[in-house]
Amino acid sequence: MGRYDDYKRRVLQVSQRLSADGYFGSKSGSAGNVSMLVENEDAVVVTPTRLQYDVMTFDDICVVDFDLARIEGDRKPSIETPMHVAAYKVRADVSAVIHTHQTFASALSILNQPIPPLFDEVTLAIGNTIDVVPYALSGSRELHDNVARKLANRCHCYILQNHGTLCVGTDLDKTFTFVELLEKSAHIYMDALSTGKPITVLPEKTVAQLHAAVIARQDREIARRREPSH
Ligand code: 13P
């Protein structure tokens, strides 16, 4: 078995599930991308560019280094690979990145509307806000730079203005859940906004406590990775 086989299998599985669940905007399309960081190596296992998920196979998944040099695979990696690499570089707690075009979060992306802390189970999972990353063209250096700057808030979900979303996590399963929690929050928030009635958010003190727990979890992951045995 190859060194990257498990990673490739997971990236393919999760990408196809996200596509089948409609998180990439169209179930028959190729939008969005998914990656995992290889443990103890500056290498990324990532979906290829412009290939429909329903025909994607294990051999189509790319492995590249942080400079995008090919390690395994014949296809070109996603054009957003530098955005994924930027996330791995600026966030030592992150080992998986998912970029989607999911519907309700995309609606908020064109309203340039962050999602405030609304539910404690969501805030405990993804942090105190779902912020909007300013618009820049897909695949551009400017987009990657904008994302890198925003990731300093140490949350796990972001809305990309007039584009889609970005979720980051310690592993791919958790990151998949963040995608779901983001869509749940966006859907409920949009519905609530459409009533025109005032919206209540979580109390500030509660948000501070929950966000501190998110940061503590990230710090534990960073410490785990720095252990010599790791
Ligand atoms: P790729 O097909 O290169 O992954 O690009 C899709 C996308 O969503 C760009 O933002």
Smallest Cα–Cα separation from 156: which of 186, 176, 136, 184? 176
Q: What is the pLDDT of residue 192?
A: 98
Of the candidates 126, 152, 116, which has an alpha carbon nearest to the alpha carbon of residue 210? Answer: 126
Prediction pTM value = 0.98
Whose alpha carbon is nearest atom 4 of ligand 1? 78
Give, as one character, the DSSP assignment of residue 81: H
Is 74 within the bounds of a domain?
A: yes
> pLDDT per position in the chain (230 positions), as tens?
899 999 999 999 999 999 999 999 999 999 999 999 999 999 999 999 999 999 999 999 999 999 999 999 999 999 999 999 999 999 999 999 999 999 999 999 999 999 999 999 999 999 999 999 999 999 999 999 999 999 999 999 999 999 999 999 999 999 999 999 999 999 999 999 999 999 999 999 999 999 999 999 999 999 999 987 76
Position 198 in a domain: yes
- Strand intervals (E) in 95-209: 96-100, 131-133, 157-160, 164-169
Q: Which of 39, 72, 80, 221 is catalytic?
A: 80
Residue 230 lies in a domain: no
Asked, for residue 72, whether it belongs to a domain, the answer is: yes
User: 114 in helix, strand or coil?
Assistant: coil
Establish whether 80 is a catalytic residue: yes
CA–CA separation, 110 vs 212, rounded Å? 30
DSSP characters for 125-153? HH-S-BEEEPP--TT-HHHHHHHHHHGGG
Instruction: Give a yes or no: residue 30 inside a domain.
Output: yes
User: Residue 154 burial by CB count (10 A; 0-12/13-18/19+): exposed, middle or buried?
Assistant: middle
Which range marks the domain in which residue 68 is found?
5-225
- In ligand 1, the atom with minimum distance to the C-alpha of 99 is 8
Instruction: Find out whether the beta carbon of 73 lies less than 6 Å from any atom of ligand 1.
Output: no
30 lines ligand 1 (CB under 6 A): yes
Give the number of domains in the chain. Answer: 1
CA-closest residue to ligand 1 atom 8: 32
The answer to whether the CB of 26 is under 6 A from ligand 1 is: no
Instruction: Render pLDDT for 64-73 as a digit per residue (tens, 0 to 9).
Output: 999 999 999 9
Predicted local confidence at residue 228, as pLDDT: 79
Q: What is the CATH number for 66?
A: 3.40.225.10
31 lines ligand 1 (CB under 6 A): yes
Atom index in ligand 1 nearest the CA of residue 101 equals 8
Mutate to test the pocket of ligand 1, among 26, 62, 78, 141 (most ligand atoms within 8 A of CB): 78
> Does residue 126 form part of some domain?
yes
Q: What is the mean pLDDT of the chain?
A: 97
